[in-house]
């Protein structure tokens, strides 16, 4: 008899609440339950909740000082008391010395911080012709595409989770609400709310395609966009133009499987990305592929160029030639 699944069972499984242990059969029943997808989606969406109330730090601090008398308790008062000077007088010299002492301390701290910063230098990953898997200290994993650079700033995983990307990468980020994962790219950044996505920052054009979850994309100009699964964002740094769209024609490099994945992608998109992936030139002239069937291929592990070309030729009425010596893919004919 099939197990009865409650909404809270789904919730317990999603949140991995270790107060509850599910057998394999129970787990299967929950995952197959008709409510699972919608509850999972509601759970993910609810993370977007952001109270509208604006709390002013300045007003808060003023109120704090009215409520709690901290001035009588501070170092300046101690110094004045110790010096035997009436608080109402202006203790210029001591105030000056105090300011100097504070300034000296701050300079000293800044110097120590700077030294520590340089001693604790950033970790830089720089790929040439290979894709690199990077296991981060916080259990996030990043797969860095060829010809890309990722810089992990000092203090990553303890003080912050900020990286700098130049090139293309796939991110699978471990959730941590206290330390949001942030990717800096020129004049923009992406703040991750727990998700999996592809991101590229090449020649001043940033492309973000979301596979799961949500991310927040922000520019230095103060624009901010929340992108959810199934959406794509393109940002051109030079013109500051941002475009968002549903992903209905896209390819995603499924890096973690060392493979490729295409969903409803156009022939031109597939061939262009394949040529980039294998580092082959694409020769294509005089043939339109606009009317061709869209291509969907998933879980292609350890892809081989010849096999992929055969698969494409079996899906679309197209003749392709591959020349390994000159590293070229040629579109010979299209009959769509």
Residue 330 parent element (H or E): strand 328-334
Chain positions contacting other proteins, by CB under 8 A = 6-8, 11-12, 15, 17-20, 38-39, 41-43, 45-58, 60-61, 63-64, 67-68, 70-71, 73-76, 78, 102, 105-106, 109, 113, 158-159, 177-179, 225-226, 228
Question: Smaller CB distance to other proteins: residue 7 or 332?
Answer: 7
> How many Cβ atoms sit within 10 Å of the Cβ of residue 89?
8
Closest CA to 250 of 312, 215, 298, 285: 298
Min separation Cβ 36 and other proteins, Å: 12
Question: Smaller CB distance to other proteins: residue 148 or 195?
Answer: 195
- E strands, 140-186, are 141-144, 149-152, 161-172, 181-185
Distance, CA of 162 to CA of 156 (rounded, Å): 7
Min separation Cβ 90 and other proteins, Å: 18
Min separation Cβ 317 and other proteins, Å: 38
Report how far apart, in Å, the C-alpha atoms of 5 and of each of 12, 16, 22, 24, 34 are. 11, 16, 12, 14, 9
Q: What are phi and psi of 103, to 5 degrees?
A: -60, -45
Min separation Cβ 160 and other proteins, Å: 8
Min separation Cβ 56 and other proteins, Å: 8
Distance, CA of 196 to CA of 174 (rounded, Å): 9
Distance, CA of 280 to CA of 262 (rounded, Å): 19
Question: Smaller CB distance to other proteins: residue 76 or 293?
Answer: 76
Question: Smaller CB distance to other proteins: residue 71 or 239?
Answer: 71
Question: Smaller CB distance to other proteins: residue 244 or 272?
Answer: 244
Min separation Cβ 53 and other proteins, Å: 5
Question: Smaller CB distance to other proteins: residue 109 or 332?
Answer: 109
Q: Which residues contact 62 (CB under 8 A, 6 or more apart)?
A: none
């Amino acid at each position: 008899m099939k197990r009865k699944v409650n909404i809270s069972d789904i919730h317990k499984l999603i949140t991995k609440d270790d107060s509850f242990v599910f057998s394999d059969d129970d787990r299967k029943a929950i995952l197959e339950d008709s409510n699972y997808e919608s509850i999972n989606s509601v759970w993910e969406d609810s993370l977007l909740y952001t109270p509208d109330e604006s709390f002013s730090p300045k007003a808060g601090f003023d109120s704090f000082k009215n409520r709690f008398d901290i001035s009588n308790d501070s170092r300046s008062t101690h110094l004045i008391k110790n010096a035997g000077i009436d608080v109402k007088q202006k203790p210029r010299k001591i105030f000056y010395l105090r300011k100097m002492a504070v300034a000296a301390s701050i300079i000293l701290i800044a110097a120590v911080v700077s030294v520590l910063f340089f001693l604790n230098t950033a970790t830089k990953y720089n790929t040439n012709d290979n894709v690199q898997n990077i296991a981060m200290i916080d259990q996030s994993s990043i797969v860095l595409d060829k010809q890309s650079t990722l810089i992990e700033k000092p203090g990553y995983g303890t003080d912050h989770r900020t990286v700098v990307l130049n090139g293309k990468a796939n991110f699978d980020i471990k959730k941590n609400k206290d330390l949001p994962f942030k990717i800096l790219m020129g004049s923009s950044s992406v703040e991750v709310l727990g998700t999996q996505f592809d991101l590229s920052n090449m020649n001043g054009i940033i492309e973000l395609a979301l596979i799961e979850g949500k991310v927040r994309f922000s520019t230095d100009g103060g624009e901010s966009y929340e992108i959810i699964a199934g959406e794509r964002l393109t940002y051109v740094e030079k013109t500051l133009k941002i475009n968002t769209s549903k992903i209905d024609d896209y390819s995603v490099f499924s890096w973690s499987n060392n493979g490729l994945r295409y969903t409803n992608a156009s022939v031109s998109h597939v061939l262009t990305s394949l040529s980039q992936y294998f580092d082959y030139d694409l020769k294509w002239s005089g043939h339109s592929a606009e009317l061709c069937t869209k291509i969907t291929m998933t879980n292609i592990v350890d892809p081989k160029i010849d096999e992929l070309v055969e698969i494409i030729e079996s899906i679309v009425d197209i003749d392709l030639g591959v020349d390994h010596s000159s590293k070229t893919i040629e579109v010979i004919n299209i009959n769509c």
